[in-house]
Amino acid sequence: MKKDLLTLWDLTKEDIVAIIKRGEEIKKGSLKSVKPLDGHTVGLVFDKSSTRTRVSFEVAIHKLGGSAIFLTPSDTQIARGEPIKDTARVLSSYLDGLIYRTYAQEQLEEFARWSSIPVINALTDLCHPCQVLSDLMTVDENRGNLDSLMVAWIGDGNNVANSWINAANILKFNLTMACPEGYLPNPDILANTSSNVKLVSTPQEAAANANVIYTDVWASMGKEDESEQRIEDFNGWQVNQSLIDLADKDVMVMHCLPAHRGEEITDEVMEGPKSIIFAQAENKLYLHQAILEKYLKFKVT
Ligand code: CP
Ligand code: NVA
């Protein structure tokens, strides 16, 4: 039976560790000389903009010998109202897998329900599981392990934050989140957290002794009309050098990108010695190959 990656809860702790390790092996050259996706076609349907996720998945598919077809809503009949359940069944008869970025998680789930091919979440308003998998690979690569990890999330309780909560619940590392009032993570996801996930009221409390400081834009895609209000509401929630100084001496500063320098993070910190932000972006290429390998069910040793 086909499997989907709709949230991190589709994976066990063992699955996540195996995907991270496989991403690291692929980075070191495993899969380099094989074309396991030869004759396979993977679709990418993106209802929102993307630089990293789209290009890294497309290159990953090409590197593995497959073909990628990129579609925006205006290229398809989805924008003209064709039901997802019809589109999903038709695309399933042409494609071997689908990478889907959209707004509502329910839309992604509806697509997965009606499709007979694996469906991978490339970001929804609710979560961004592939992002957090490549982030975890980057942490593991830099630190050597994920043991006793203390992660601080500072800023908007958005889709990436929700996936970090899922990851902390599955892997049991410590996650301390500082989000302004009114910008907390999804209440259902928060309601089901274990005691290793904590909410605090200031960025300073979250940053204290952290091994990772993570932030993201204050206005995610779809929230652009709230930008001005959010800049006011997030005053004091910037990741800057004085916050980094409170963290562990080997702290890793992370951001999924795109970033708004001068808002959620300073240019100094982004370009500074603690930043692993561009390694995170690079690792999407390897981690996405590991995801394709797992979900499209080929295995090359
Ligand atoms: N981090 C991330 O998903 O970036 P894109 O929106 O460019 O894909
Ligand atoms: N939270 C951001 C992540 C972009 C990769 C957004 O949804 O716009």
Domains of the chain: 8-127+282-298 (3.40.50.1370), 131-280 (3.40.50.1370)
Q: What is the mean pLDDT of residues 90-100?
A: 97
Supply the pLDDT for residue 74: 83
Please tell me the distance from the alpha carbon of residue 63 to that of residue 257, in angstroms, as a whole number: 24
Q: How far apart are the first and last CA of the chain?
A: 23
Percent of the chain at pLDDT exceeding 70: 99
**DSSP three-state, residue 30:** coil
Nearest residue by C-alpha to atom 1 in ligand 2: 220
Please tell me the distance from the alpha carbon of residue 87 to that of residue 77, in angstroms, as a whole number: 8
Supply the pLDDT for residue 144: 96
For residue 254, how many other CB atoms are within 10 A of its CB?
A: 27
Supply the pLDDT for residue 289: 96
Please tell me the distance from the alpha carbon of residue 101 to that of residue 44, in angstroms, as a whole number: 8
Going from the Cα of 81 to the center of ligand 1, the distance in angstroms, rounded, reads 26
Residues near ligand 2 with C-beta < 6 Å? 123, 158-160, 216-217, 220-221, 256
Going from the Cα of 33 to the center of ligand 2, the distance in angstroms, rounded, reads 34
Supply the pLDDT for residue 1: 86
Q: Which of 137, 211, 139 is nearest to 175 (CA)?
A: 211
47-to-96, 108, 156, 208, 282 alpha-carbon distances in Å: 20, 11, 22, 38, 23
**pLDDT tens for residues 126-139?**
999 999 999 999 99
Supply the pLDDT for residue 192: 86
**pLDDT tens for residues 158-177?**
999 999 999 999 999 999 99
pLDDT confidence bin for 60, thresholds 50/70/90: very high
Going from the Cα of 121 to the center of ligand 1, the distance in angstroms, rounded, reads 12
Determine the residue type at 5.
L
178-to-169, 183, 214, 263 alpha-carbon distances in Å: 17, 10, 11, 16
Q: What is the mean pLDDT of residues 252-259?
A: 98
